[in-house]
Structure 1
Amino acid sequence: MTTTRQNGSLFTSINNNIAIIEFGHPASNSFPSELLERLRKELISVGNNEEVSVIILKSEGEKAFCAGASFDELVAVTNLEEGKQFFAGFANVINAMRTCGKLIIGRVQGKTVGGGVGLAAACDYVLATENAAIKLSEFTIGIGPFVIEPAVTRKIGVSGTTELTLDATNWKNAYWAKEKGLYAKVFETQKELDEAVDILSEKLASYNPSALVEMKKVLWKNTENWRTLLAERAAVSGELVLSDFTKKALQKFKK
């Protein structure tokens, strides 16, 4: 079942110390700014909840995991401040994932583009299906994956990010993503994926919560400057989106 709500949906359920945060949007689970802000707040709230030991991040439906930011909102950007604000959406969510204090398991059932790749990269452990191909297509519209780059490079290295960014028109399959370290395991079916997510989350929830919190800190060591860094990257993207090149490319895509 997928949502038909224009601004998308976000639901959290908490059982046995496991929080499941599920997002959805009719446009291939893409994120309008309002939904990104709701996700940011939810991650902070769940991160502060002592009843939660581990978070599962997933999206609705059986097709795309996440198509990135809202294309309609991107087209509507008219000045630098709006541009910075637009790109700050994913920056703020990645920072919330980084600092929320709880380990995050990503459940990736399908194709993932742009900001969605950043979302997967900011999870601590990702399980996926073989349908979970990835693409960073930002170059094709005159911008770049600047905001999500630190999260992606942290997971797959500079060479992986380079390959993904420069080959902007082609998908990399789920096994490529696993080989590079973005995914921990890849399954043939969603049923197998969901069983594995359940088993892993139950195991993690049975461990010492304090050990999990300390491990989260260790895993994200040396990212303390990301609040500033990602804001700077949002400004770079905000400027590029106003360029003539990007405006023309966006109009072509729109048609």
Structure 2
Amino acid sequence: MNYENLLISIEEKIATVTINRPTKLNALNKATIEDLHKAIKILGKNDDVRVIILTGSGEKAFVAGADISEFANYTVVEGAQLAAQGQELLFDFIQDLKKPVIAAVNGFALGGGLELAMACHFRIASDNAKMGLPEVTLGVIPGYGGTQRLPQLVGKGRAMEMIMTAAMISAQEAQQYGLVNHVVSQSELIDFTTAIAKKIIKNAPFAISKAIKAINANYTDGKNGFDVEIKSFGKCFGTQDFKEGTTAFLEKRKAEFTGK
């Protein structure tokens, strides 16, 4: 399937989704959000894909923010709808996807771009990356989950400071804060991220999906993460992958997982 603002490649069970609006620094507009939803939904159902890497085109930006021209004249109701629809369609959708989504942050990740990276299951940054939530300089607040996910990742105090000052932080600071897992040179970014993805695809897909669900439950109001873990742990025992994994361990060989 062809997309106006995305480039997609699949190799060795790893799908790379590249946001391709270089003249706009890959800014998120409505069409791009819809394309991302469609593409990730299809990849999520593709048995030939085990991990998704999300990145931006060019060397300047992952996603430099939202396309402000689309909502500059919105009303109160329209603004709330914009946030609600975006969160449901893309940001929460990525967070809850059963397959791992890794953000390879190449350059600026600002506003909606940082919110998109935070919705991914974890983040790897190039050493020239800059991250921030500058929405208060426009008279609004982050609306795609930024006020919730940033404090979960970096702590309440740092999140308060970042959001209220609208300051950008470097990739190195982001790593110190726990916002990104690794920092590498831009030339190494995709290869480094792919190497981690290859480690993931060696493991049982069903178990990976249940791990994502259990971890997310700890950050979801009204859910008991321990209960979700217990139930998910039990469900793993009914899979072919569990039988294969335990048998392979006892036979001292590498397991061949199918996701069933």
- In structure 2, the residue matched to 1:204 is 200
| TM-align CA RMSD | 2.0
Per the TM alignment, residue 91 of structure 1 is displaced from its structure 2 partner at its CA by 1.1
The one-letter amino acid of 1:11's match is L
More displaced 10-residue stretch of structure 1: 43-52 or 99-108: 43-52
Q: Which has the higher contact order (CA 8 A, sep 6+)?
A: 1
1:50/1:224 CA distance change after superposition, 3 Å: farther
SS in structure 1 opposite 2:169? coil
SS in structure 1 opposite 2:61? coil
SS in structure 1 opposite 2:155? helix
Per the TM alignment, residue 224 of structure 1 is displaced from its structure 2 partner at its CA by 4.7
Please list every run of 5 or more consecutive structure 2 residues that lacks an aligned counterpart in the other structure.
Answer: 223-260
Instruction: Tell me, yes or no, if the aligned pair for 1:37 and 1:89 is still in contact at 8 Å.
Output: no
Q: Is 1:82 matched up with 2:78?
A: yes
Q: Is 1:182 matched up with 2:182?
A: no
- In structure 2, the residue matched to 1:163 is 161
More displaced 10-residue stretch of structure 1: 216-225 or 192-201: 216-225
Q: Using structure 1 for the length normalisation, give the TM-score.
A: 0.79
Question: Number of aligned pairs?
Answer: 217
- In structure 1, the residue matched to 2:150 is 152
The one-letter amino acid of 2:152's match is R
Partner Cα separation in structure 2 for residue 68 and residue 128 of structure 1: 16
1:146/1:159 CA distance change after superposition, 3 Å: farther
Partner Cα separation in structure 1 for residue 86 and residue 46 of structure 2: 23
Partner Cα separation in structure 1 for residue 148 and residue 24 of structure 2: 26
Counting only pairs closer than 5 Å after superposition, residues 129-148 of structure 1 correspond to structure 2 as: 129-148=126-145
Partner Cα separation in structure 1 for residue 220 and residue 178 of structure 2: 22
- In structure 1, the residue matched to 2:10 is 14
- In structure 2, the residue matched to 1:34 is 31
| CA shift digits 1:31-60 (9 cap, x unpaired) | 111110111222222222222211101111
Instruction: Tell me, yes or no, if the aligned pair for 1:55 and 1:104 is still in contact at 8 Å.
Output: yes
The one-letter amino acid of 2:80's match is K
The one-letter amino acid of 1:213's match is S
Instruction: Tell me, yes or no, if the aligned pair for 2:98 and 2:212 is still in contact at 8 Å.
Output: yes
Q: After TM superposition, which residue ranges in structure 1, 4 or more long, deviate above 3 angstroms?
A: 222-226
The one-letter amino acid of 2:142's match is P
1:146/1:84 CA distance change after superposition, 3 Å: closer
1:99 aligned residue (78, 96, 118): 96
Partner Cα separation in structure 2 for residue 51 and residue 125 of structure 1: 21
1:155/1:200 CA distance change after superposition, 3 Å: same
- In structure 1, the residue matched to 2:255 is none
Partner Cα separation in structure 2 for residue 8 and residue 114 of structure 1: 22
1:94/1:191 CA distance change after superposition, 3 Å: same
- In structure 2, the residue matched to 1:124 is 121
Per the TM alignment, residue 81 of structure 1 is displaced from its structure 2 partner at its CA by 3.7
SS in structure 2 opposite 1:19? strand
Partner Cα separation in structure 2 for residue 32 and residue 71 of structure 1: 8
Partner Cα separation in structure 2 for residue 218 and residue 51 of structure 1: 24
1:41/1:81 CA distance change after superposition, 3 Å: farther
